[in-house]
A and B are shown apart, each in its own frame.
Chain A
Amino acid sequence: MNLREEAVDRTPPLLREASLGLALISLGLLLACTLTALVGANDALDLFAYWAFVSASLAVLMRALEVGLRFPWDVLRRMPPTTEGFRNG
């Protein structure tokens, strides 16, 4: 099953856009981390790393929420076939 193709309409667009925005902010802050590490500004590095992590975490959590909302949870109700063959990979 391809998760991307299932019930796309249920995804709130705002969630995905916010996630993408946060990911962009996170990457910008990581770039700032790179530059501050280059010049040795440790206080600024701590600050940028802090917010880069927070925004990356939120971006990932939002995407996870989005996937969760998109997921067809009725698969949990699908019954297994009555006869199952043994297969070895």
Chain B
Amino acid sequence: MTRIISCAKSVVLGPNAPYLWFLVLVGVLAHRDWFLSTNPIAVGDWAYLWPQWMQGFAGPPISWVSEANLGYYNLNASLYWIQGSMGALSLLGVGFNLSERLFFFWPAGLLPGLTMFFFCRSHTGRIPATVAGLVYELNTAGLFLGGAHLTHAMAYAVAPLALLFLRIAVERNSTRGALSFGLAFALIIAYEPRYAYIVAGVALGYLVLLSLKHPPVITKRRSLLVAAMAGIPAAVNAYWLVPAALFPSQVFSGIPAQLLAPTITLPYSLALYNPYWSTPLASFQIQPIPWYAFLLPLLAFLPLLSRRLDAEILFFALVAICGIFLAKQNTPPLADLYPWFFAHVPGFSVFRESSKFFVLTALGYAVLLGDLTARVWRRVSTLRVRRQSARGRLRLQPVFALGAVALVAIAAVAPSQGAFTNSLGDAFTTTSVPPLYTNLSRLLDDGGFSRSLWFLTTPLFGFHSNEHPAVNATSFLVQYGTGLASFADQEDLLNCLSIKYVIETPDAVYAGDSSFDFVRSWYSNVTAVASLQPVPGFPGTQVWRNPTALPLIYGIDLPPQQAANDSAVLSAPKVSIPFRSVGVDTYQVTLPTPAPKLVVLSQAYDGNWVGDVGNREVSVFPLMHMLNAFDTGGANGTTLTITYRAQPIFEAGALLSVAVIATSMVFIVSPTPPWEWFRRKLPEARRGS
């Protein structure tokens, strides 16, 4: 505790303090609405999360998430510690407005500059480290992440911290450094595993370089530290990495990875300039590069003219070159190399587009510009100008400090000036929850499991939770086939999918867009169902209630051989059967006498759902190519237990994760290593006995 307090004291009041406060001030000014407003921030993919959604994640990690469409294997499982914390705070009454700021916006707005400052400070001094922090924080590629991709922004912010701990671990042979690196890297994985893939490459190269600089290169102790650095992130994330390897989801395994068309060409990549950057931000509209954006690479590569170049600086120049090369994706030069990497390098296929590689260029440019400032600073600090003035000797350092910051202001801040005028829009400004959606949330959250079907798409503020999933009509048809829109028996289709509400909200974005006509025709067919009841009280919005929607689990009297026959399934008689939820993603179904031939779990079909009747495993098969069906085999009056196969590993892995995090934290903050404590105490205990 004393260590933490002294650390905090030195940050707030120590010699670094003026520079850190300056970076904090810049971070606040560049993201004014994040800090000075309490309204929610929701835009694009960053949807508003209702308390019911967040509370669904308080507890053990969830392997199967129900909240959207027919549910999906939890692809965001790495975020469990963040989502779980948001859920726990939600139970204490902390809303989305504060939670999203605590776990995403505030750290994403402040950390990039601070972490880069600490990374560069010990090598370059404080003024150059401040310059590096400004470059890393205020380049348009980094700032753009805060516009909508907050998980990316957080991984981007933590990357320099991980590299700093790596350096401490290798240079000082420090166990604390190694453990801190492990936790920082685990945090990067948690926020965005794809960034972890990139940062791992840099860390590996940096580890080799530092080991060579600090011989003996390979020692037992260094090997142990490296094992800890690799082992901690793996152990902390084992809860989702192991199940992902053992039970690949069948929902997504059939979707081929495809390279997207490139948007970042070499000039943008070289200038570290996001092609969509404009004031206000114009997503998906490529903007011209302003001339001053090229000052950044021009200054960053200036140290290459020096005859004396430190190996570390050269390493980061190489990192920048790799970043520029990869970020330009499959455009010249060597345009075929990126597709080759995409097809052949393990793990590279997650980079369908290349903007994530901007982090390499940002790391490289920040370090290079820090080095440039340090060089000029050293040169200037050796000069003393004597002037006859009232104060006597005048030193150039303070003047240079201002000049260096001003230079960076032109090179790095000028392209991102829109951030300071608070005119970028998107996630840089706050919004408010329209009253319509608050009223809709009260209607939809009505106890028991039910889905709502949103036309044309689920809106940003559309209510959804694991108990009340939102079905996005457009993505649902794209995923399961547009033929569903023309089914004659729409009423039974809605019932089978447990859809209780059908909602059409005004959506100016898609108005007049004929490519959504197939969704509109589905809406016409659905609302023609005679049993749907209009729900009044939502001006400008059509809301319909389906009183015959089936629950999450129900029985159906149909031979298993006909499960793929859509019309046979829809016309077969269905029965409600009692079931209860036990734990996460596990259900106990009490089969009546006589038992229905099939028990249906109204979640997306996935072979990892398993049933168990009297210690006999019941295999799952697809119903209408969408849902899960279990053949009861006439097991009357018994209990069918349905569970998602990966869930027990998620829960065991979470315990391991807690143990590793807690042990590492205790070791990091304790004044003496645990083994020293045992070494002292054990002989005393022996003497005592």
Q: What are 9 sample pairs from A and B whose C-beta atoms fall under 8 A apart? A: A1-B214, A34-B291, A34-B294, A37-B288, A37-B291, A57-B325, A60-B314, A61-B318, A67-B311
Contacting residue for A84 out of B213, B221, B266, B305, CB 8 A = B221
Could you give, for residues 45-61 of chain A, a 1 whenever the CB lies within 8 Å of some chain B CB and a 0 otherwise? 11001101110110111
Task: Return chain A residues, CB-CB under 8 Å to B295.
Answer: 34
Interface residues of A in 26-64 (CB under 8 A from B): 26-27, 30-31, 33-35, 37-38, 40, 42, 45-46, 49-50, 52-54, 56-57, 59-61, 63-64
Asked whether, in the complex, the Cβ of A31 is within 8 Å of the Cβ of B217, the reply is no
Q: How far is the CA of A46 from the CA of B268 in the complex (A)?
A: 10
Assuming the A-B contacts A37-B289, A84-B219, are A53 and B265 also in contact, with contact meaning beta carbons closer than 8 angstroms in the complex?
Answer: no
List B residues at the A interface (Cβ < 8 Å): 168, 172-177, 212-221, 265-267, 270-271, 288-295, 297-298, 301-302, 304-305, 307-311, 314, 317-318, 321, 324-325, 332-333, 673, 675
Q: How far is the CA of A80 from the CA of B42 in the complex (A)?
A: 56
| Contacts beyond the supplied A63-B314, A64-B318, A67-B309: 15 A-B pairs with Cβ under 8 Å | A3-B311, A30-B297, A33-B294, A34-B292, A35-B291, A42-B288, A53-B270, A53-B333, A56-B297, A57-B325, A71-B212, A86-B175, A87-B174, A88-B673, A89-B176
Q: Which residue of chain B lies nearest to A42 when distances are taken between CB atoms in the complex?
A: B288
Asked whether, in the complex, the Cβ of A50 is within 8 Å of the Cβ of B266, the reply is yes
Task: Return chain B residues, CB-CB under 8 Å to A84.
Answer: 219-221
* A-B pair number, CB within 8 angstroms: 130
Asked whether, in the complex, the Cβ of A49 is within 8 Å of the Cβ of B301, the reply is no
Q: Which residue of chain B lies nearest to A24 when distances are taken between CB atoms in the complex?
A: B305
Asked whether, in the complex, the Cβ of B317 is within 8 Å of the Cβ of A53, the reply is no
User: Nearest Cβ in chain A — how far from B220, in angstroms?
Assistant: 7
- Is A14 part of the binding interface, using a Cβ–Cβ cutoff of 8 Å? no
- Is A23 part of the binding interface, using a Cβ–Cβ cutoff of 8 Å? yes
Asked whether, in the complex, the Cβ of A75 is within 8 Å of the Cβ of B298, the reply is no
Interface size on A, residues (CB 8 A): 46
Asked whether, in the complex, the Cβ of B266 is within 8 Å of the Cβ of A46, the reply is yes
Among A37, A46, A50, A71, the most chain B Cβ lie within 10 Å of the Cβ of A37
Q: How far is the CA of A63 from the CA of B303 in the complex (A)?
A: 12
Asked whether, in the complex, the Cβ of B291 is within 8 Å of the Cβ of A38, the reply is yes
Asked whether, in the complex, the Cβ of A78 is within 8 Å of the Cβ of B307, the reply is no
Q: How far is the CA of A1 from the CA of B214 in the complex (A)?
A: 7
Asked whether, in the complex, the Cβ of B175 is within 8 Å of the Cβ of A50, the reply is no
Q: How far is the CA of A40 from the CA of B290 in the complex (A)?
A: 9
Asked whether, in the complex, the Cβ of B172 is within 8 Å of the Cβ of A87, the reply is yes
Task: Return chain A residues, CB-CB under 8 Å to B266.
Answer: 46, 49-50, 53
Q: Which residue of chain A lies nearest to B292 when distances are taken between CB atoms in the complex?
A: A34
Could you give, for residues 63-82 of chain A, a 1 whenever the CB lies within 8 Å of some chain B CB and a 0 otherwise? 11001000100011011110
Among B168, B288, B321, the most chain A Cβ lie within 10 Å of the Cβ of B321
Asked whether, in the complex, the Cβ of A56 is within 8 Å of the Cβ of B265, the reply is no
Task: Return chain A residues, CB-CB under 8 Å to B213.
Answer: 1, 3
Q: Which residue of chain B lies nearest to A52 when distances are taken between CB atoms in the complex?
A: B270
Q: How far is the CA of A63 from the CA of B305 in the complex (A)?
A: 11
Assuming the A-B contacts A53-B324, A56-B301, A87-B173, are A33 and B216 also in contact, with contact meaning beta carbons closer than 8 angstroms in the complex?
Answer: no
Contacting residue for B307 out of A20, A24, A34, A38, CB 8 A = A20
Q: How far is the CA of A57 from the CA of B361 in the complex (A)?
A: 13
Asked whether, in the complex, the Cβ of A27 is within 8 Å of the Cβ of B305, the reply is yes
Q: How far is the CA of A47 from the CA of B182 in the complex (A)?
A: 43
Asked whether, in the complex, the Cβ of A49 is within 8 Å of the Cβ of B219, the reply is no
Task: Return chain B residues, CB-CB under 8 Å to A52.
Answer: 270, 297
Q: How far is the CA of A67 from the CA of B302 in the complex (A)?
A: 18
Contacting residue for B304 out of A37, A45, A63, CB 8 A = A63
Q: Which residue of chain A lies nearest to B175 when distances are taken between CB atoms in the complex?
A: A88
Asked whether, in the complex, the Cβ of B174 is within 8 Å of the Cβ of A30, the reply is no
Contacting residue for A64 out of B265, B270, B310, B314, CB 8 A = B314
Task: Return chain B residues, CB-CB under 8 Å to A78.
Answer: 215-217
Assuming the A-B contacts A1-B215, A64-B318, are A59 and B304 also in contact, with contact meaning beta carbons closer than 8 angstroms in the complex?
Answer: yes
Top 5 closest pairs, chain A to chain B, by CB: A89-B174, A89-B172, A23-B304, A38-B291, A80-B219
Asked whether, in the complex, the Cβ of B216 is within 8 Å of the Cβ of A80, the reply is yes
Contacting residue for B176 out of A23, A46, A88, CB 8 A = A88
Contacting residue for B216 out of A4, A38, A67, A79, CB 8 A = A79
Contacting residue for A60 out of B175, B215, B304, CB 8 A = B304
Task: Return chain A residues, CB-CB under 8 Å to B215.
Answer: 1, 75, 78
Asked whether, in the complex, the Cβ of B270 is within 8 Å of the Cβ of A16, the reply is no
User: Nearest Cβ in chain B — how far from A63, in angstroms?
Assistant: 5
Contacting residue for A75 out of B217, B267, B321, B332, CB 8 A = B217
Asked whether, in the complex, the Cβ of B174 is within 8 Å of the Cβ of A49, the reply is no
Q: How far is the CA of A45 from the CA of B60 in the complex (A)?
A: 54
User: Nearest Cβ in chain B — how far from A32, in angstroms?
Assistant: 9
Q: How far is the CA of A75 from the CA of B106 in the complex (A)?
A: 45
Asked whether, in the complex, the Cβ of B310 is within 8 Å of the Cβ of A4, the reply is yes
Task: Return chain B residues, CB-CB under 8 Å to A45.
Answer: 267, 289
Asked whether, in the complex, the Cβ of A40 is within 8 Å of the Cβ of B321, the reply is no
